[in-house]
Amino acid sequence: MSPSKIAAPARWRALFLLLALPLALPARAGDELFFSEFPIVASVSRLPQPLSETPAAVTVIDQEMIRASGFRTVEDLLRLVPGFQVTSHNQDPAIVAYHGLNSGMNSDEYGPRVQVLIDGRSQYSPLFKSGVNWNLLPVALENIERIEVTRGSNTVSYGSNAFMGVINIITLDSTQTRGWLASANHGNNGIRDEMLRWGGKVGGADVRFTARSFEDNGFQHGFYSNVWTTAPDDRQSRLFDLRADLPLGNHDELQFTLSHVRDVSLYGRPGSPANDPLRELRQHSTSFGLLWRHAVSAAEEYKLRYAYTQDEAVGPYLERVSFGTNLASPSSVTYFQPFDPGGRSAMHELEFEHTLAPTAGTRMAWGSGLKSVALNSPAQFSSSDWKHRDAVRLFGNLEYRPARPWLFNLGASLEHDSLSGLMFDPRASVSYHVIPQQTLRLVVSRAHRSPSLYETSGRVEKRDVAGSGLLNMTYLAQGVEPERIDTVEVGYLGEFKQLAASVDVRAFHERIPNRIQIVPLALPASTPDDQDSLAGRYLAQTNPGSANTIFPYGRADGAINLERVVIQGYEYQLRWQPFATTRLI
């Protein structure tokens, strides 16, 4: 359903009826639990909370739903979440968008506005323009216990990449994976998925080891140059994943994780060996993590997490470059240059977290984080130099219950980025339990997204080094500020045990006054290129009314805070379990 196609009064009347109908139904608190209670989640405020008490809308995809869906990838599972749109793999990795805001333009090809976590570890990558490369996600579906999706900004808890939401993939504890498990899924179109897992004791540690192979032939036909033709789109992926949990006495635990993912995908277009030849793009990601947990009591705990991730992509080929020059006698120049769209990146993250209950009616979680990033990508910077950025962050959430029906949550994050400066993100929410299984929620928040290194510092030039030496500048960063989003939302969550059903509704108003877009910009006098006719540039300086006035030194794409965006509407999910083994969503 597209709310924009409904007249405003009718839209809100429909929403009111949807909210009012469940409130009119009787709820018998003493009924047997045929339909399960709302799950406990910790992805919103970092405090374990029933779904009815979180300061944001949350969708949970559990193991049973993962198995029943038939999906092969995590990103496809997100099609089950209200408000999310997911593209199919077609040479490039899938794009996962919330409210459609990650589509289009170069900076959005990896979806930088939704944070993705695996057991709390960020999957953000500086190499992939501050987004997530879903082809390199280091997790097998068989190892996932549940996926908690926060629908709405949560930079308060997870930093600037949680601009529009958080996807937290929670895997099975090592103690839950005893013995061997083997699975295979073979089908048409070259589908060959195989997985082998072992879990058991090694000394005093519980260990889980997984090896997975994932293959398919993708989309084998494409429409190019007005004809349908064979379009190789093969993909091969390998995953090795190790997790060990070691108890250190009665109050401490150490968790160790190590993973390696390798992906080989075919790129290029058939019939165009000059402009876009068929080739392989090889990518891999290696990550290492340590987590120390110290439980003081049932209500107080300390966590210290360290993570290191290294990403690399390699896909060299000869790129055809052609453009009109601004020489005294304008002409067209064409040449081939070696080009590799990949690069390397390394990221260190250190995070401290403390949860406690200061009084009988309050709980809180607070902490700090450090992040250090290094990126080497000649394709993004026309240089073999390493680019660096660092960030430090303080965050906190306070939960206060003055009386049984009411619950207040206040949270804030203060983050300083070496390229974007200081960002302050607050959030306030209040929940009211109309009756024990019926909850209304109001949330107000502000969040920022720090631009990627490509957006802030990118430089892409095409230079005929072996021949004329002519230069065509295609991207030049010229200054951009962090995006900001202000959100007001009203939510309703209802559970009806006698009907074995639940309802989740979120009505929202989101305003982004400075969305980043990549558009053609005038090059400065200090960085002219050889594209565009010299006559046109001269005319631009002598005739202010000419069409080329703003490009006297040429032009190149650049990131600027261009768009004012307002997104408003509602999303809802109905869940019904008429039988023990049947669910309708």
What is the sign, positive or negative, of the torsion defined by CA atoms of 33, 35, 36, 39?
negative
Report which listed range, 217-221, 378-382, 576-580, is most confident. Answer: 378-382
Predicted confidence at residue 327, as pLDDT, reads: 62
Q: Which candidate, 241, 259, 252, 170, places its Cα nearest to that of 204?
A: 252
Residue 287 has pLDDT above 50, yes or no: yes
Higher-confidence residue of 581 and 426: namely 426
Predicted confidence at residue 26, as pLDDT, reads: 41
Predicted confidence at residue 21, as pLDDT, reads: 44
Q: Which candidate, 32, 33, 57, 34, places its Cα nearest to that of 44?
A: 57
Residue 248 has pLDDT above 60, yes or no: yes
Chain mean pLDDT for the chain = 87
Q: Where are the alpha helices (DSSP H) in 460-547?
A: 534-542
Higher-confidence residue of 32 and 95: namely 95
Quickly count: other Cβ atoms within 10 Å of residue 545's Cβ. Answer: 7
**Residue 253 backbone dihedrals phi, psi, to 5 degrees:** -145, 140
- What 3-state DSSP class applies to 392? strand
Instruction: Write down the pTM of the prediction.
Output: 0.89
Report which secondary-structure segment, H or E, holds 69.
Answer: helix 63-69
Burial class (CB in 10 A: 0-12, 13-18, 19+), 179: exposed
Predicted confidence at residue 237, as pLDDT, reads: 95
Residue 313 has pLDDT above 90, yes or no: yes
Higher-confidence residue of 552 and 279: namely 279
Predicted confidence at residue 451, as pLDDT, reads: 94
- What 3-state DSSP class applies to 115? strand
Quickly count: other Cβ atoms within 10 Å of residue 95's Cβ. Answer: 21
Predicted confidence at residue 24, as pLDDT, reads: 43
Q: What is the pLDDT of residues 503-529, one digit of tens each?
A: 999 999 999 999 999 988 888 888 888
Structure tokens at 344: 């390397």
Lowest mean pLDDT among 2-6, 59-63, 355-359, 573-577: 2-6
549 pLDDT tier (thresholds 50, 70, 90): low
Structure tokens at 470: 């002519």
Residue 538 has pLDDT above 60, yes or no: no
Residue 544 has pLDDT above 70, yes or no: no
Residue 297 has pLDDT above 70, yes or no: yes
Pairing of β 343-356 and β 362-376: antiparallel
The pLDDT of 321-328, averaged and rounded, is 75
108 pLDDT tier (thresholds 50, 70, 90): low
Who contacts 571 (Cβ-Cβ below 8 Å, separation ≥6)? Answer: 82, 83, 151, 505, 506, 508
- Show the domains of the chain with their CATH numbers: 3-584 (2.40.170.20)
Secondary structure string (H, E, C) spanning 123-180: CCECCCCCECCHHHCCCCHHHEEEEEEEECCCHHHHCHHHCCEEEEEEECCHHHCCEE
Predicted confidence at residue 161, as pLDDT, reads: 86
Q: Which candidate, 272, 273, 262, 222, places its Cα nearest to that of 91?
A: 222
- What is the rounded radius of gyration, in angstroms, for the C-alpha atoms of the chain? 26
The pLDDT of 536-546, averaged and rounded, is 53
Lowest mean pLDDT among 26-30, 158-162, 389-393, 427-431: 26-30
Predicted confidence at residue 285, as pLDDT, reads: 97
394 pLDDT tier (thresholds 50, 70, 90): very high
The pLDDT of 236-264, averaged and rounded, is 96
% residues pLDDT > 70 (the chain) = 86
Lowest mean pLDDT among 20-24, 220-224, 548-552, 570-574: 20-24
Predicted confidence at residue 464, as pLDDT, reads: 81
Instruction: Give CA separation, 438 vs 83, 84, 492, in Å.
Output: 22, 25, 8
The torsion of the CA quartet 49, 54, 57, 63, rounded to 10 degrees, works out to: 0
Spatial separation of the C-alpha atoms in residues 350 and 370, rounded to whole Å: 5
CB 271 within 8 A of CB 224: yes
320 pLDDT tier (thresholds 50, 70, 90): confident
The pLDDT of 37-46, averaged and rounded, is 85
Q: Which residues does residue 116 pair with via DSSP β-bridges, in sequence order? A: 167
Residue 195 has pLDDT above 50, yes or no: yes
140 pLDDT tier (thresholds 50, 70, 90): very high
Structure tokens at 190: 């070259």
Residue 349 has pLDDT above 80, yes or no: yes
Predicted confidence at residue 17, as pLDDT, reads: 45
Q: What is the pLDDT of residues 300-311, one digit of tens each?
A: 999 999 999 999
Contacts 24+ apart (CB under 8 A), 180-189: 181/142, 183/142, 185/72, 189/216, 189/217, 189/218, 189/220
Residue 457 has pLDDT above 50, yes or no: yes
Spatial separation of the C-alpha atoms in residues 158 and 44, rounded to whole Å: 9
Predicted confidence at residue 534, as pLDDT, reads: 55
CB 325 within 8 A of CB 528: no
Residue 1 has pLDDT above 80, yes or no: no
